[in-house]
Structure 1
Amino acid sequence: MAWRPSEGVWTLNGFTGLRLDRDARLRRNEAQLARLLAGPDTRILPMWGSLHWVGTSEPWRLALCAPEVQGLLEAADCPVYLGRAKEVPLFAASVKDEGLVARLAQQGNWCELRQVAAVLPADQAALLAYARALVLWHQASRFCGRCGRPTASAEGGHARRCTGCDQALFPRIDPAVIGLVHGPQRCLLGRHRAWPKGMYSALAGFVEPGEALEQALAREVEEETGVQVLECRYHSSQPWPFPASLMVGFLARALETPLAVDPQELEEARWFSRDELAAGLRAGALQLPPPVSIAFRLVEDWFDQEANSPLSAVVSHQEAKP
């Protein structure tokens, strides 16, 4: 959650609006899980590689009952028990059969989460993010890093266990820091070469061993731009399943000093005033990350503290242009 000073309310970041009983106690009961998986009320969220199945009409349909995906569960090596939504059991499973992939494509679309997150209700986007993180982790964790033997799904898909040395493996989460660095009047944004033209964002990087979160942010900012962070305060966090990050967001104060950009890290970095941001967005010369991202929320909270109109209104104006 994030505190919005301009509104005096707490709001949720993207992918955090999941209203679900994760039902952790049931995960260790294999017999009960098997009965639940075959139950008539159970719903299954299909994935194909990194793609989610989404129905074509609103309200968006994300899950299917077992008869609609006949053969899916037999072929899936690790149906993942997600929990219960309004007492409805939910599983995620990876589609292996090409015929089933084609049949489901006639009833909906196979979509990347980034493509659909902005149009889905917040709780549905969060549910897909949860399923994506677990399914992709299973795909990447089929062998033990200690002895090299195959691993098998356990605890309803929330763990894997090595068939050789019995080591328990748990879903990977990579902590990363992201900070909106600002001085008295301007904020610091950077861009990577691979990003769309004109896109800038807050600075971010992964936490290294032996670092506190605040230390990691200060290091990343200085490495990428030469700017020294004077102080930072926690803003909010966001699961970011691309593929397994947990973004920890900060607002960081710094002096508006000249920049020494590391070309290996960034293509460009700039100090932006609120007026420059608004003008660039309205003209289409500047883009920010999508509103579902914590990066946008960091910029938005800083911008809205002193702007004449909220950043959401400026972005809406930009999106309305032909």
Structure 2
Amino acid sequence: MTTNDSFPLGQPGFVSHPIDRAAHLRGNDEKLYAMETHRDARAYVIHRDSLLMTQGADGPRALLTLDEARKFGANPGTIFLGLNDGAAIFGMGISATAAEALMGRSDVGVENLRAVAASGAVAARELSTIAMAKSLVGWHQRHGFCANCGTRTSMTQGGWKRDCPSCKVEHFPRTDPVVIMLVTAGDKCLLGRQAQFPPSMWSCLAGFVEAAETVEDAVRREILEESNIQCTDVRYYMTQPWPYPSSLMIGCTARATTTDIIVDKTELEDARWFSRDEAVAMLKREHPQGLTGPHPVAIAHHLLANWLAQPA
């Protein structure tokens, strides 16, 4: 069961892989420069949690020529994302000043990426590459100085590394593992609310994997910490890149062995058990109290929909 044809069951946003990452080209500066100056090169331009998009007769467009990107104020220094049918695709950033200068224009704008992904303003097949651009652009903006000695670092390897000229430490982009899990007890499932969620939305519980911790232990620990529910039978479902700022959501299921909830109010606004019928109504946006489940762009929706698709 799913509520959006763009994200059928088992295919949330950011998981498609339409481009060849062509990692063997990252160290070839001459080749990268030639591709960057080629007329077929394109770029996604990122500003914080937003995406630069043009508006034309054919509708919104996120994939820009590099001349367009620079004209709108994108920063110099492009990140090589890969090849799409032989054409190079890059990621670029844009300063807050340049982004603000675009406000009020009808031909171009800086749009929130979550809203863009959920609304279908760009094709689902583009989201993975956009996520790559967002994660890398954000990483460079946050890691301009060496964590070892404090010296200003430089971008190398087509944007996939930063080198320190002083202590020679090499810095690489990181991805943070996050467990997200649907816990069930018979015909009930455990969902929670965070304060920043849209009104009425409930979703799966989630949390970062800690140092020297297995995925299974992280699932059990997070559920216990946030809801006081003990669980077992942890099973892997699928993963989803989540570029906020650069996480890998590890989707799992688990079976509860206790049912009395005590909510950790520092983590959650609330948590409760929902029946299968309620969960179906929430995904269909038909719950009598107006409660809703997560959007199909998110792996949480697919965890819930996959459980509902199984025999009761």
1:123 aligns with 2:125: yes
| Equivalent residue number for residue 53 of structure 1 | 52
After the TM superposition, which of the residue ranges 235-244 and 263-272 deviates more from structure 2? Answer: 263-272
Structure 2: unaligned runs, 5 residues or longer: 1-7
Query: Cα deviations across residues 122-157 of structure 1 (Å, max 9, x unaligned)?
Result: 111222111101111111010111101111111000
| Equivalent residue number for residue 171 of structure 1 | 173
For the structure 1 residues 168 and 236, does the alpha-carbon distance in structure 2 shift closer, same or farther, using more than 3 Å as the test?
A: same
* Alignment-mate amino acid for residue 186 of structure 2: P
- Asked whether the equivalents of residues 135 and 246 of structure 2 are also in contact (C-alpha less than 8 Å), the reply is yes
For the structure 1 residues 138 and 284, does the alpha-carbon distance in structure 2 shift closer, same or farther, using more than 3 Å as the test?
A: farther
TM-score, normalization by structure 2:
0.88
Matching residue within 249, 252, 255 for 1:253: 255
* Alignment-mate amino acid for residue 31 of structure 2: Q
Give me the whole-angstrom Cα distance separating, in 2, the residues matched to 1:43 and 1:102: 20
TM-score, normalization by structure 1:
0.85
Give me the whole-angstrom Cα distance separating, in 1, the residues matched to 2:273 and 2:144: 45
Query: Cα deviations across residues 33-88 of structure 1 (Å, max 9, x unaligned)?
Result: 11211112111222234321123355642222233344679x73531001111111
Alignment of 1:185-200 (within 5 A): 185-200=187-202
Give me the whole-angstrom Cα distance separating, in 2, the residues matched to 1:104 and 1:34: 34
Aligned identity (percent) is 37
Q: CA deviation at 1:229?
A: 1.0
| Equivalent residue number for residue 236 of structure 1 | 238
Give me the whole-angstrom Cα distance separating, in 2, the residues matched to 1:99 and 1:220: 38
| Equivalent residue number for residue 299 of structure 1 | 304
* Alignment-mate amino acid for residue 219 of structure 2: L
For the structure 1 residues 278 and 287, does the alpha-carbon distance in structure 2 shift closer, same or farther, using more than 3 Å as the test?
A: same
* Alignment-mate amino acid for residue 92 of structure 1: G
Q: CA deviation at 1:90?
A: 0.8
| Equivalent residue number for residue 269 of structure 1 | 271
Q: Which has the higher contact order (CA 8 A, sep 6+)?
A: 2
* Alignment-mate amino acid for residue 177 of structure 1: V
- Asked whether the equivalents of residues 18 and 122 of structure 1 are also in contact (C-alpha less than 8 Å), the reply is no
Alignment of 1:98-117 (within 5 A): 98=98, 102=102, 105-117=105-117
For the structure 1 residues 132 and 284, does the alpha-carbon distance in structure 2 shift closer, same or farther, using more than 3 Å as the test?
A: farther
Q: CA deviation at 1:100?
A: 9.8
Q: CA deviation at 1:260?
A: 1.6
Structure 1: unaligned runs, 5 residues or longer: 1-8, 308-322
- Asked whether the equivalents of residues 190 and 268 of structure 1 are also in contact (C-alpha less than 8 Å), the reply is yes
| Equivalent residue number for residue 6 of structure 1 | none
* Alignment-mate amino acid for residue 170 of structure 1: F
Q: CA deviation at 1:239?
A: 0.5
Give me the whole-angstrom Cα distance separating, in 2, the residues matched to 1:268 and 1:68: 46
